[in-house]
Amino acid sequence: MPSTRRRSPSSALALAAAALAVAAALPLLAAPAVPDLDPDLVAFYVDLHRNPELSLHEEKTAAKLAERLRRLGFEVTAGVGGTGVVGVLRNGAGPTVMLRTELDALPVEERTGLSYASTVKARNDAGLEVPVMHACGHDVHMTVWVGTAARMVQERARWHGTLVLVAQPAEEVVKGAKAMLADGLYSRFPKPDYVVALHDSPKVPAGKVAHTPGYILASSDSVDVTIYGKGGHGAAPQTTVDPVVIAARTVLALQTIVSREKDPQEPAVVTVGSIHGGTKHNIIPDEVKLQLTVRTYDRKVRQQVLDAIARIARAEAAAAGAPREPAVAVVESTPATWNDPKLDARVAAALARQLGADNVVESRREMASEDFSEYGLAGVPAVMFRLGAADPAALDKATAAGVELPSLHSSLFAPDRDPTLRTGVAAETAVLLDLLGKPAG
């Protein structure tokens, strides 16, 4: 059980005392109800956590979700955009609302020490054996999604319209949303009026949720730059054009895009995450390869940064007398994720009614990215909110010490399981019931 894992006896005692204090205070609070967690749902989570699958290989995971929805009476279509699953529950005339979860896990070796930690290894697309872990908490999202599906079936009399549950593959490689849309998500199935999703967060305590109007996540572009020189003997630089020196100048000049070219009010990141060239001390190579990630929110800023990267790379090569222009290619792109402000306000209000206003906070946007952005850009108001996953006591302790708890994608990321799942089901159900609510009277 997570309530005893990796805690010192003293912190366990402190927690027990805190729990007693909370229990004593409970009758005084008119706390909105967060129903208990179905033990079967915890077992479902543990199974998903123990059996993670890499992006584009989520066959068994998808089958488990499809089977749950079928049992609940959804019309289920598997194999949408790869391993994607779509479940439709029709409940009379009314709006259509889509709820999305992701299916995939990451090539990370779990080091949480949990009794149900993953020990799975799988072959990646390059044929290498890698460890696999639900280090982004997509197992939380799937479990909450299944729990919400069950609640929506139970609560049928309280809503009307069409519920579309979507389990998307390959979020971590930002391919699944596009693939599902290309496979007719908005045409073969009822097109939603609203799209919602949650993502767990180790920065928010379990029991709370966070919402963000407007941009919540940045766009992401992966850029490959190949700088061409003229190789030769390391002792005879006069016979060469050294691409290592051009690359070094280019990396530094690229830093001036953010610091000197763009509007300081507009956030952007340019990171050169990889630089490769040469084989030996005394050989000047023919070329050097750079790999960059670019993050922005605004589309114009994004284009300005990408244009500047190409311009600077070309100019530095020209300054060195390179024999040919560098190759600059954007190899992977994900747009920024925009939370429709009107829908965000409605979702936040529904969450506050269900969880209590104190348990709904507004959180800052982040420079990470997500292909959830695609559902909104395809013309439907969309909102993603954050589900607190941090053990509240551990988070308080970390905050007091000025450190952060293990982040998403960390080998140590361990959501505070039961309260996170319980709050997630209550939150998603509250949002869906609001968006599919029967008009008063």
Contacts to Zn ion by CB under 5 A: 136
How deeply is 17 buried, as exposed, middle or buried, from its count of CB atoms within 10 A (0-12, 13-18, 19+)?
A: exposed
> Residue 357 Cβ, how far from Zn ion at the closest point, in Å?
27
Residue 106 CB, nearest distance to Zn ion (Å)?
7
Q: Among 399, 404, 421, 377, which residue's Cα sits nearest to residue 195? A: 377
Closer to Zn ion by CB, 136 or 430: give it: 136
Residues 6+ apart with CB under 8 A from 202: 389, 390, 395, 404, 405, 406, 407, 408, 413, 415
At 49 the three-state DSSP class reads helix
- At closest approach, how far in Å is the CB of 165 from Zn ion? 18
Q: Are the beta carbons of 290 and 247 closer than 8 angstroms?
A: yes
Q: How far is the CB of 102 from Zn ion (least distance, A)?
A: 6
Which amino acid makes up residue 415?
P
Cβ proximity to Zn ion, 51 vs 77, nearer residue: 51
For Zn ion, give the closer residue by CB, 190 or 424: 424
Which residue's CB is nearer to Zn ion, number 199 or number 262?
199
Name the residue nearer to Zn ion (CB basis): 169 or 285.
Answer: 169
CB of 331 to Zn ion, least distance (A): 19
Contact 306, 268 (CB under 8 A): no
CA gap 352, 208 in Å, rounded: 10
Minimum separation from the CB atom of position 222 to Zn ion (A): 15
Q: How far is the CB of 326 from Zn ion (least distance, A)?
A: 31
SS3 readout for 278-298: CCCCCEECCEEEEEEEEEECC
Q: Are 184 and 86 in contact (CB under 8 A)?
A: no
Nearer CB in complex with Zn ion: 118/250:
118
405 CB-near residues (< 8 Å, 6+ apart) = 202, 203, 390, 394, 395, 398
Tell me whether residue 140 or residue 313 sits nearer to Zn ion (CB atom): 140
Considering the complex, state which of residue 136 and residue 294 has its C-beta at the smaller distance from Zn ion. Answer: 136
Place of tokens 């915890």: 42
Q: Which residue is nearest to Zn ion (CB)?
A: 136
Amino acid 95 reads: P
Nearest to 258 by CA among 272, 247, 246, 243: 272
Nearest to 174 by CA among 375, 342, 320: 375
Least distance (Å) from Zn ion to the CB of residue 366? Answer: 12
What are the strands, taking DSSP E only, across 92-160?
96-102, 121-123, 129-131
Minimum distance, C-beta of residue 370 to Zn ion, in the bound complex (Å): 7
Position 225: which residue type?
V
Of 136 and 180, which CB lies nearer to Zn ion in the complex structure?
Answer: 136
